Amino acid sequence: MDRELALEIVRVTEAAAIASAQWLGRGEKIEADDAATTAMRTMFDSVNCQGTVVIGEGEKDEAPMLYIGEKVGSDNGPEVDIAVDPLEGTNIVASGRSNAMAVIAVADRGTLLHAPDMYMEKLVVGPKAAGLVRIDDPIEKTIDIVAKMTNKRVRDLTIIIQDRDRHQDIVDRVRAKGARVKLFGDGDVGASIATALPHTGIDLFVGIGGAPEGVISAAAIKALGGDMQARLAPRNEQEAERCREMGMENTSDILTLDDLVKGDDAIFAASGVSSGELLEGVRFLGGDLTETDSIVMRAKTRTVRYIKAHHQLDHKPHLVMEDDE
């Protein structure tokens, strides 16, 4: 992989973000996701790579495009694994809330974990606590380690946790320990990455979320020098069998960052759809002028680029509203 591929990938997330942002707050999550998926798949045709989707919109018989196993790219350039979430936060966009993004992770062929679409237990920290935390440790011990390594008092730490009933025990224990809790609704890729970016003020991510999102997050965490541990959390025997079919015999095994993203190189790119902690959302500035805010990072060089772009979209997809007719 090379730096040119990293910049090409940003064009793909930008296209998905612009398409889905037109549905912000309209209450139509399926339409928003379809718009993002179509725009992302179309833009992939111009990317100089030989890509195979390993995490996408579903199995071939479930998704018309960006399905698992689909070949994408120009059929020239490096052979790579592709993990995509054209719209991370479909409910966010439908309701007009913050922190929706279009995200992609790219890595050398055979290096991204082919995570099944199920739950995954996750623990994520930034660079200062990398290599020192374990997902099996009590949350109280983890908090002490993170406080020591970040040179913060426990009461000044911020632990980000998805606002779900399954996390109530963790929330209660974090509060009892004296640390601060920040709850979020949807979009755990952005929440995970926030732990490794100092300006967010987030020190630790803990909880159960989607496994595909976990692998995408891992690419970014590796590029930022953070650390992540995970464990698949099948809810029934059918999901456990799905894990075994994919070569994961023991679902209780701890997955390290290097299990999630093997090798020393990966690219992560994201473009904001609605404004959040990491990125600003798409802004329609009038006429055909549109502004996007993106981030792209590469693990091999630890380079992180923030890209704000203006797009002249002469053929921007248009939503037909009643007053347009």
User: Which pLDDT tens digit goes with each residue over 105-114?
Assistant: 999 999 999 8
69 is in an annotated binding site: no
- Residue 287 Rama label (left phi>0; alpha psi -120 to 50; beta): left
Give residue 325's pLDDT.
Answer: 38
33 is in an annotated binding site: yes
Domain covering 119-260: architecture? 3-Layer(aba) Sandwich (3.40)
Q: Where are the domains of the chain?
A: 3-109+266-324, 119-260
One pLDDT digit (tens) per residue for the chain, 325 residues: 677 899 999 999 999 999 999 999 999 999 999 999 999 999 999 999 999 999 999 877 778 899 999 999 998 999 999 999 999 999 999 999 999 999 999 999 999 998 888 899 999 999 999 999 999 999 999 999 999 999 999 999 999 999 999 999 999 999 999 999 999 998 899 999 999 998 899 999 999 999 999 999 999 999 999 999 999 998 888 888 888 877 777 878 999 999 999 988 999 999 999 998 889 999 999 988 999 999 999 999 999 999 999 998 765 444 444 444 3
226 is in an annotated binding site: no
85 is in an annotated binding site: yes
Helix (H) or strand (E) holding 180: strand 180-184
325 is in an annotated binding site: no
Give the pTM. Answer: 0.91
150 is in an annotated binding site: no
277 is in an annotated binding site: no
190 is in an annotated binding site: no
Whether 26 and 301 have beta carbons less than 8 Å apart is answered as no
77 is in an annotated binding site: no
Whether 106 and 267 have beta carbons less than 8 Å apart is answered as yes
188 is in an annotated binding site: yes
Query: What Å distances lie between residue 151 and 16, 146, 160, CA to CA?
Result: 39, 8, 18
Q: Candidates 1.10.10.10, 3.30.540.10, 3.40.50.2300, 3.90.1150.10; correct CATH number of 3-109+266-324?
A: 3.30.540.10
25 is in an annotated binding site: no
